[in-house]
Amino acid sequence: MTAPEYGGLGLDALSYAVAMEELARANAAYQGCLSVHNSLVCGALSLFGTPEQRSRYLPKLASGEWIGAYSLSEAGAGSDAGSIQTMAKPAAEGFSITGTKCWVSNGGIAGLFVVFVSTSPAGASRGISCFLIEGGTPGFTVGRKEKKMGLRASDTRELHFQDCFVPRSALLGSLNGGFKVAMRLLDGGRVAIGAQAVGIAQAAFEEALSYAKTRRQFGKPIAEFQLIQAKLADMSVGIEAARLLVRRAAVLLSRGARCTKEASMAKLFASSTANRVAYDAVQIHGGNGIVREFPVERYFRDARATEIYEGTSEIQRLIIARE
């Protein structure tokens, strides 16, 4: 997605979605790291960065020298993303930031953080600004790593800011215009999380199919029983439908069109499919499905977050209804 002049491949969003699905088929935690890095950080700079901001950061991000992190959520600002409490107060030539952010993917490994803070509390969502903050900036520390049920290889942290000075040049987009930046980026991010869900579902389906062909009960492979066949058929239809929704949203994204509704539809359907498919894949494995030696146990745990992060399924339905 990052332009070749900054060291990126210049791929369109459809190619990106295909790559994201394949990566998630192997390891969703690893894909999640790259999804945040590309959709939410490289995307932020590509869409909203000044030429100076792009040249300073995109080459490092495109080469992988630096990893990016995106920080919107707080303990009291999850689905209600506009109720951010972390504050940036005007200081000489810049801003001074104080507050705590949470659920930050790549938090412990990132060199650059895209951080949303309040610059005008009375403005609520219309008083939020976005800042580019480098790791190691005085007054900025990274907190403990969360112990999650799934996506355990992805590094999720709190971020703490105490009188952290950032220059005015760190502002991404306009002052108090950060909420729209956050939402626009999440449109793209949700396409990549949809692709992640499709990848997890595909992996779970492949394991279930292969297990059903080799596991014998009552004198034949369980794949020959119609109740197992029905599960496998429903899984494969769901995966194909989810993949098409994700790719439709990706095509719109490639054209630069606003795809808020289509991205939410893709994420909602794909994440629900991933959970259903992973559930049935565990069921087909029987007792073997709940032990760590079999990969479906991990797919089941990894799928759960896809219905929660980058907007819960409830929020996706709300967005679709509004649109």
Piece of the chain touching ligand COS by CB under 6 A; list 6-14, 138-146, 273-281, 304-312: 304-312
Q: Cβ 173 to ligand COS, closest distance in Å?
A: 12
Q: Cβ 211 to ligand COS, closest distance in Å?
A: 33
Pairing status of strand 112-118 against strand 128-134: antiparallel
- Report which secondary-structure segment, H or E, holds 38: none
Interface residue with ligand COS among 180, 261, 301, 304 (CB under 6 A) is 180
Site size with ligand COS, rule: CB under 6 A = 20
> Which tokens sit at 273?
């499919």
Q: How far apart are CA 37 and CA 155, in angstroms?
A: 12
- Give the residue with the Cβ less far from ligand COS, 88 or 319: 319
Radius of gyration (Cα) for the chain, nearest Å? 21
Q: Is 315 in the site for ligand COS (CB under 6 A)?
A: yes
Q: Which residues pair with 77 in a beta bridge?
A: 74
Report which DSSP code applies to 36.
I
Query: Do 28 and 153 touch, CB atoms closer than 8 A?
Result: no
Query: Do 13 and 191 touch, CB atoms closer than 8 A?
Result: yes
> Which tokens sit at 265?
């539809």
Residues 111-140 that bind ligand COS (CB under 6 A): 125-126
Q: How far apart are CA 178 and CA 52, in angstroms?
A: 19
Piece of the chain touching ligand COS by CB under 6 A; list 71-79, 194-202, 228-236, 240-248: 71-79
Q: Would you tell me how many other CB atoms lie within 10 Å of the CB of residue 122?
A: 7
- Give the residue with the Cβ less far from ligand COS, 275 or 306: 306
- Give the residue with the Cβ less far from ligand COS, 73 or 313: 73
Q: Is 319 in the site for ligand COS (CB under 6 A)?
A: yes
Q: How far apart are CA 313 and CA 316, in angstroms?
A: 5
Q: Mask of contacts with ligand COS, 150-179, x by CB under 6 A?
A: -----------------------------x
Q: Cβ 39 to ligand COS, closest distance in Å?
A: 10
> Please, which residues have CB within 8 angstroms of residue 318's CB and are 6 or more apart in sequence?
none
Q: Please identify every residue annotated as catalytic.
A: 310
Q: Is 320 in the site for ligand COS (CB under 6 A)?
A: no
Q: Contact positions toward ligand COS, by CB under 6 A? A: 72-73, 79, 81-82, 103, 125-126, 179-180, 183-184, 186-187, 260, 309-311, 315, 319
